Amino acid sequence: MLYIKCPYCGLRAQKEFSYGGDATVKRPNINEEISSEDWDNFVYMRKSPRGKHIELWQHIAGCRQWIKVQRDTATHEIFQTAKVTEEIR
């Protein structure tokens, strides 16, 4: 079981959370002219690194907030969590 520290609620079990994927992928700005390639990159292309990964989780069975988690994809160790508006360095 993973234990994730929600910045709003504290340490909670993984079962309360839902995964939302790579948090470093940025959606292009609304109404911005972008190339098809940029759109494909946003929708489909993922780096999926082995090691530290910054990702989105939603505390779906808790406060329902989206949060950022920095986790190791090889060991599942969780280093940092933050509100979705905050940066993880």
75 binding other proteins? (CB under 8 A): yes
Gap between the Cα atoms of 83 and 1, Å rounded:
22
**Does residue 62 sit in helix, strand or coil?**
coil
Of 29, 31, 32, 50, the residue at the interface with other proteins (CB under 8 A) is: 50
Q: In what order do the strands lie in the sheet with 78-83?
A: 18-22, 52-58, 66-72, 78-83
Taking contact as CB under 8 A, which single stretch among the options 26-34, 60-68, 70-78, 79-87 is the one that binds other proteins? Answer: 70-78
Give the residues lining the site for other proteins (CB under 8 A): 1-2, 13-15, 18-19, 21-22, 36-37, 40-41, 43-50, 53, 55, 71, 73-76
